[in-house]
Structures are given as structure tokens and as C-alpha cells.
Amino acid sequence: MEVFIIRLLQFMLSISLLVLLHEGGHFFFSKLFGVRVEKFYLFFDPWFHIFEWKPKNSDTRYGMGWLPLGGYCKIAGMIDESFDTEQMKQPVQNWEFRAKPAWQRLLIMIGGVLVNFLLALFIYAMVLYAWGDQYMSTADMTMGYKFSPEAKALGFQDHDILMGYDGKEFKKFDVDLYRHLADAKTVEVKRNGKTVTLDMPGDLSLLNMLQSTPPFARPFVPAEIDSVMPDSPAQSIGLQRGDRLLAVNGKPVDSWNEFTYQIGILNDMMTEAKTPADSMKLRTIQLVFAHNTDTAGISREWPRQLSEQLSAPDTATVVLTPELLLGVGQTSIYTYYKPTDVSYGFLESLPAGIKYGWNVLRGYVGDLKYVATADGAKSLGGFGTIGSLFPAQWDWHQFWLMTAFLSIILAFMNILPIPALDGGHVLFLLYEIITRRKPSENFMIRAEYVGFAILILLMVVANLNDILRWLHIM
């Protein structure tokens, strides 16, 4: 429950900040061009509001609604989600949106998107200034990667070190690496000290690469034990820090990737268990392991001969916990490699933040092509998915990174040419500027209804996916 509350608070703070500033962008340009703003709200207020306040001699009512699905800046003389058609029947006033030149109306409509995009770049810059950047260099991963059968069919081999693609260098181990692999025509790997070039199809599915079991490629991390929990199954058979797992139920295990995969198979079989005896049988596994004879503990050197630092293999039968846990802490890439740290001065952080934010936007836009696929539609997530992306403990570094990412999403989604979104209004304004003809008010009202229906449908699908995942149906 505590984790849920922490994530909820971070989510609400982040969304509130982004919505206020987004609507503030519309508000700023409206006031700049003398357009009256009748209502400025955080969240929507169907039927009632939490509070409302109208300053003396002001035309604007400020308030907070109860439905946290966005915000609202009601601009006089404009057809929007309020569907206020009565106002549009009145004579045009010079302080109304519809009375202003098209270029001013265009700036008013892109104001929110502009603020969100600039805000994301600013946050990224300040995050780099305050915390710097840390990443794992792909070239430093001398143990290479573990590859899925699909990857091996393309010519990859376990322990290949990813070096470059299409004449460019891999730099970081992050999601961009998978994007580059998906789109690459050729990939260069280092294998046994030699560079090998692999031909690639150039149109791999990023979703399949990330969601497949085992994954398309993951850094090779030896199945060496980092720690043993007290009173755990691992302690009962004498496992210690530095020991290495070699096999599970007769299946060879050379990395934590393989160990996790084998436990995943058992987990799938547990869903079919009908009796406690069936469950106990699945939980009882045969484990092959070797003790580390090096008193220094876990070695950072690779490769190394097993005979030099590992005892003869030993076999033991152990009963896992009901959650199929062995009770060990796993080593990770951080056990064997030191990450690259980059710090930025204030002036250096500004162009670095812009570059970082632009790369995030480019990756997000590129990934949208998967939404039209069946798997892509299933991957859509609603408020639950977004909230789960925030850390389980309050972490300002991760909070601001997530807020910047959501700001970019909010900017991009709002600029899409869908009626009821800012991008729909921009599309019609561009039509007016080019043709010098305004779309009719009846057309605008119908378009607003259609756009609103599309948004509601997308919201229902995304949040339904969350519910189905929570129920383990999808």
C-alpha cells in the first residue's frame, strides 16, 4: 500500500505540473493577444468542482475539478470541448478568439504544446546539470551478450560484443541499442577478438525483441551468487557468495538470463498445478553448482578457467519457496563493469539537455508505428501503467526524468491532427491560412464530437489493458 501511495503522489504531482503549464501556454498567448479566458482549471469539473475563485476585476474563473484527466482553459469565442454553441451564436466581440487573425489563433493553440516541449528540454538539461549522466558503454562489456534463438538464427553467438551498426558505433546499453538493432542493415560484433559483420533484415519488430522470452539480447551476467539470504533454500544447501550455478533440473545454466528463464518455465507450470503435491513437486529442483575457491570472492576478470577458481561441481536437491525463490542476491552488470559517468556545467547542460530530449522524442515517435499492430495495441497502457513507471521510493532524479518524458508525450499527443486536440485546431487553422477560408461552425462542432469520441475510445482501451494485465488475463 505504501508503494502505491508513493507512486500515486508522484504521478499526481507530475501530471498537475504538466497540465497547469500546458494550459498556461494557451493562457499566456491568449492574454498576449487580448483574448478573454473565461475559465482556467486544473482537472475537469463535470457537475461540480472542488473549488473556484474569481479575482476582482478579472474575466477569468480559476478552479480545480475533481476528474484528473487533464486541464481546461476556456477561451472566449472558440469551439472546444465545452461545446458552448450559444456563445458562437452571438455577435463577434473584439476580445474573442474568433475575432483575431489566424496567425494569432495559431500561436494560442500551439502554446500548450510549445510549453510542454520546452519544459521537457529544460528539465532534461537541469537533470544533467544536477546529477550528470551515467551509462554502460557497450564496448566495455567484454563478456558480451546472451542471445535468443531468433537472434542466433540471424548469426549472433553468445558472448558476441556489440560494436556498431550500419557504419555507426553503439554507445550505450539502453533501449536505443534495440532500436538500432531493429532497423540495422548490418551489425558489427567482436567475436574471439575479431570483428564480424552480420547482415540484418532492417525491419525487426522492436516489441518482439523486448517482449520475447528469452529476450533478443541481454548483457551476459554469470550466474554467480552475490549474497545468500538467511534461512533461505540457498542457505540450506550451503551456497555462499561467489558460488556459481551450473544447471537447473538438468538444463545447463551459464548466466542469470538462463536461470531466470528456467524458473519462468516452472512458474508457467505452477499455474497448471492442481494439488499441493503437484506444486511441491515443481518447487523441488535439482541444482548443480560449484563453490568459489578464491578467497577474494567474486572475480571481475573474464574469461577465467573454472578449474582455477571453482571447485568440482556439486549437486543438491532444494525446495524453492512458494514464490519459486532460491533466496540469493544476483550479480549484475554493475558487479563486473564500472559505469561511465559524465558531468555537465550549467552552460554545457543546455545543449546536452536539448540533444537528450530530442533523442527521446525521436525514439517515442519511431515506436508509435507499433501501435497499429495487435501486440502494439495490447501494449497500450493507461493511468495504472504510467503510475507504475514512477519509482517505488521517492526519488527526485527519477521523478524529474519521468516528468520530462510525460511532458514530451503530452506535447506530441496534443499536436496530433485529431479534432478536440490542439493539433486538430492547428490543422483547421493551417487550412484557413492556406485557402483563406474558415471551416464552418457546424463542421467544427461535428469534428469536435468525433475527436472527443476517438479520445474516449483510446482512453478506454488503454485503461482496459491495465485492468486485464492486473487480472493476469493479458
What is the dihedral sign for C-alpha 96, 100, 106, 108? negative
pLDDT in tens, 387-417: 788 888 889 999 999 999 999 999 998 898 8
What's the pLDDT band for 33 if we cut at 50, 70, 90? very high
Beta bridge partners of 187: 165, 198
What's the pLDDT band for 464 if we cut at 50, 70, 90? confident
Q: Is the pLDDT of residue 371 over 70?
A: no
CA distance 394 to 391: 7
Q: Is the pLDDT of residue 306 over 50?
A: no
Beta bridge partners of 248: 251, 287
Per-residue model confidence (pLDDT) at position 421: 84
Which residue has 491560412 as its cell numbers? 433
Query: Average pLDDT in the 427-447 region?
Result: 85
CA distance 242 to 297: 5
Phi, psi of 354 (to 5 degrees): -65, -45
Per-residue model confidence (pLDDT) at position 69: 73
pLDDT in tens, 231-246: 999 999 999 998 999 9
DSSP secondary structure code for residue 199 in this structure: E
DSSP H or E segment with residue 63: strand 61-75
Lowest mean pLDDT among 132-136, 184-188, 315-319, 467-471: 467-471
Q: Is the pLDDT of residue 92 over 90?
A: no
pLDDT in tens, 261-304: 899 999 989 888 889 898 999 999 999 999 887 655 565 555 44
DSSP H or E segment with residue 244: strand 244-248
Query: Average pLDDT in the 338-351 region?
Result: 93
CA distance 241 to 227: 5
Measured in residues, the chain has a length of: 474
Per-residue model confidence (pLDDT) at position 228: 94
Query: Average pLDDT in the 438-445 region?
Result: 81
Query: What is the side-by-side strand order in the sheet with 194-199?
Result: 168-169, 161-165, 186-191, 194-199
Per-residue model confidence (pLDDT) at position 376: 60
Per-residue model confidence (pLDDT) at position 402: 93
**Helix spans in 184-275 (H):** 206-211, 233-236, 256-270
